[in-house]
Amino acid sequence: MNRISLYGTWQSPITSELIVSTTIGIGAVTVDGDDLYWLEIRPTEKGRNLLVRRTGEGMVEDVTPAPFNVRTRVHEYGGGAFLVADGIVYFSNFVDNRIYYHTPGSQPQPLTAQSNRRFADFVLDRQRNRLICVCENHSDSGKEPENTIITIDLTTGEVATLISGSDFYSSPRLSRDGTKLAWLSWNHPSMPWDSSYLWLAKINSEGIEEAKLIAGGDQESICEPKWSKDGTLYFSSDRNNWWNLYRYLHDSTIEPVVEMAAEFAYPHWVFGLSTYDLVNSNLIICAYSQNGSWHLGKIDPETKQFYPITTSYTEISSVQATDQGEVVFIAGYPTQPTAAVKFNPETEVSEIFKTTGELELDTGYLSAPEAIQFPTENGLTAYAWYYPPKNKDYSAPATELPPLIVKSHGGPTASASVSLSLRIQYWTSRGFGYLDVNYGGSIGYGRQYRQRLTKNWGIVDIDDCVNAAKYLVQQGKVDGNRLVISGSSAGGYTTLAALTFRDTFKAGASYYGVSDLEILAQDTHKFESRYLDGLIGAYPAEKNLYVERSPIHFTEQLTTPVIFFQGLQDKVVPPNQAEMMFQAIKAKGLPTAYVTFEEEGHGFRQAENIRKALDSEFYFYARVFGFEPADAIEPINIFNLD
């Protein structure tokens, strides 16, 4: 029988323990002959990444044994941490940054010597018995790390520099006949989604020759170069405002393969991204994003015909063609667990071969996202996904409106995901509304929408989060007196800035967020060390802007409770960012809490810490807004609550 109970007090089967004990992360699906490989991120193994194989006969087995952790720290965010070729696995081990080679059934053996180098984005050069990959050298502690493209001899492990001179490199891609190499580069102060360059050269055992720039520029971003069997080079470019597919022909001309108001690429936050692959000379299978949601499509590169494929997926990544003419990828759904899928382009039949968890939940507990568009500053429109409260066992009193959590996503050059998140469902099944905002600067809406945040971080993102919340209040869907904002990393900055510089929200949660932009500009890793040039302005020349937009300098304006979560090993946003703000709010007498995790970095991976953070945030809101949760939650120390 449906019970009447206040929002926030609903009993839910979606507990933090269920989330961490029954779900894993999956990613980076790849193909080797008849075998499929993918990474699993297991919170119950302290967030270890391990490689799993499914043989052509359907047998599934773990490949990399404990304690090996298949992960790289190049650019700190990693990705592209392994390569499988002819049954041999080459991978970066997170603990020592060395490359290991591994034949299933044996113990991994080190290929590279112990050093201060980090490696990612591997390509096998069979003709010359070597790997080609990106290297980030941290040997000189007095300088920023040096990024290069290198070779590694598979017999001796000897490392040799192949390409150098730019600030950053990615995506070394060898042609099928082994005679040409393509790669991407970019330089400070640009991020790869602002400006990047596609290069092409002849390659031999001595090095490269006749290197030439074939695409890219100050106002063009290039992604995902790939070779066809006939030696044609494909890539994505946003030269027409959207990341569309192009190809470089043998006569050195570039032609579009598909032109649409849609994104066929992700921003280059991590290595190893793949949103399309060439099944054969007449067929490309691709993922593309429109209006914040991802879809699947077919392209005939010769006729330039595009064919959308109807599926229930809302997130698609890691697209890889098999030798049998099929395609594998990672697929997300709004109300089903994320899955690794094998897809037949001819029959359009899908087979799920791995999921992030066996979800045995009645859909009556799952809130489906609703796409909303709302008016924002300067007569513009912004976007968000709204998840209304939903629990089949409960209703709220007719006179009550639900509290709302506004999520400001990280990045900030990223987007709100619409694949099933049990962390979102944790909130909605307890009676909260949840609003995931794609503020100006988010991806999925073209380059011009991304550039709304240029010089305007701390303004546009805050305005859009505020206006999204106000829109739902005006629609009569949520309680304007119980608006919460929460975010991690860059989203944590937006959270703290919105709480400091606006009066819309009544509480907030900052996960490893930024409070002092000056310190961030002076103390962060190489990849993002000049990111703020584009988001705010050059430092120190425009120091005044950094001060004006830093919450730490204006705590006298802050009047709402805030909880902080921080990994003490975070190299992207160091712990002092949270500690300074926490101490200032505590001294001011506002309710606040600071929850730290000794072994966590930028993002939480260990089961116990994920559980603790989620329950602590809920406990904090319950005490601040004065309702009693249905579950017994371990208390945390909240200063100044009385």
- Do 271 and 332 belong to one domain? no
Q: Is 10 domain-assigned?
A: no
For tokens 């950094």, name the residue: 546
- Do 316 and 379 belong to one domain? no
Specify the amino acid at residue 547: V
Q: pLDDT-derived band of residue 284, with 50, 70 and 90 as boundaries?
A: very high
- Do 437 and 546 belong to one domain? yes
Query: Is the pLDDT reported for residue 250 higher than 90?
Result: no
- Do 322 and 386 belong to one domain? no
Domain end marker among 259, 278, 297? 278
Q: What total of structural domains would you count in the chain?
A: 3
Which residues form the domain of 330?
Answer: 279-360
- Tens digits of per-residue pLDDT, 54-70? 998 999 999 999 999 99
For residue 289, give the nearest of 273, 270, 272 by alpha carbon: 273
Query: Is the pLDDT reported for residue 258 higher than 70?
Result: yes
> Is the CA virtual torsion 78, 60, 25, 108 positive or negative?
negative
Q: pLDDT-derived band of residue 1, with 50, 70 and 90 as boundaries?
A: low
- Classify strands 233-237 and 180-186 as parallel, antiparallel or unpaired: unpaired
- Do 320 and 385 belong to one domain? no
Specify the amino acid at residue 415: S
Output the domain CATH number for residue 118. Answer: 2.120.10.30
Query: Is the pLDDT reported for residue 392 higher than 80?
Result: yes
Contact 217, 202 (CB under 8 A): no
Structure tokens at 253: 């001309």
589: left (phi over 0), alpha (psi -120 to 50) or beta: left
For residue 514, give the nearest of 449, 436, 461, 442 by alpha carbon: 461
Query: Is the pLDDT reported for residue 603 higher than 80?
Result: yes
- Do 597 and 513 belong to one domain? yes
C-alpha to C-alpha distance for 614 and 426, rounded to whole angstroms: 9
- Do 403 and 537 belong to one domain? yes
How many CA atoms, within 13 angstroms, populate the side-chain half-sphere of residue 420? 28
Structure tokens at 624: 């601040």
Average the pLDDT over 506-517 and give the result: 95
Output the domain CATH number for residue 515. Answer: 3.40.50.1820
Domain end marker among 278, 306, 332? 278
ω into 397 cis (within 30 of 0): no
Query: Is the pLDDT reported for residue 22 higher than 80?
Result: no
Q: pLDDT-derived band of residue 602, with 50, 70 and 90 as boundaries?
A: confident
Average the pLDDT over 423-440 and give the result: 97
Contact 51, 91 (CB under 8 A): yes
Query: Is the pLDDT reported for residue 23 higher than 90?
Result: no
What does the DSSP assignment read for 527-561?
Answer: GGTTHHHHHT--TTTTHHHHHHT-GGGGGGG--S-
Question: Exposure of 593 by Cβ count < 10 A (0-12 exposed, 13-18 middle, 19+ buried)?
Answer: buried
Query: Is the pLDDT reported for residue 601 higher than 90?
Result: no
Percent of the chain with pLDDT over 90: 85
- Do 200 and 306 belong to one domain? no
What does the DSSP assignment read for 181-198?
Answer: EEEEEE-TT--TTT-EEE
- Tens digits of per-residue pLDDT, 401-425? 999 999 999 999 999 999 999 999 9
Report DSSP state, residue 513.
Answer: -
- Do 303 and 372 belong to one domain? no
Query: Is the pLDDT reported for residue 114 higher than 70?
Result: yes
Q: Is 2 domain-assigned?
A: no
Question: What mean pLDDT, rounded, does the chain reach?
Answer: 94
Contact 24, 3 (CB under 8 A): no
Distance of CA 630 to the CA centre of its chain: 33
- pLDDT value at position 141? 81
Domain end marker among 245, 263, 278? 278
Q: Edge-to-edge, what's the strand order for the sheet holding 339-344?
A: 315-321, 327-332, 339-344, 349-355
Per DSSP, the three-state class of 516 is coil
- Whether this prediction's pTM lies above 0.85 is answered by yes
Q: Is 615 domain-assigned?
A: yes
- Do 476 and 556 belong to one domain? yes
- Tens digits of per-residue pLDDT, 310-350? 999 999 999 999 999 999 999 999 888 899 999 999 898 88
- Tens digits of per-residue pLDDT, 145-198? 999 999 999 999 999 999 999 999 999 999 999 999 999 999 999 999 999 999
- Do 152 and 196 belong to one domain? yes
- pLDDT value at position 571? 81
- Tens digits of per-residue pLDDT, 291-316? 889 999 999 999 999 999 999 999 99
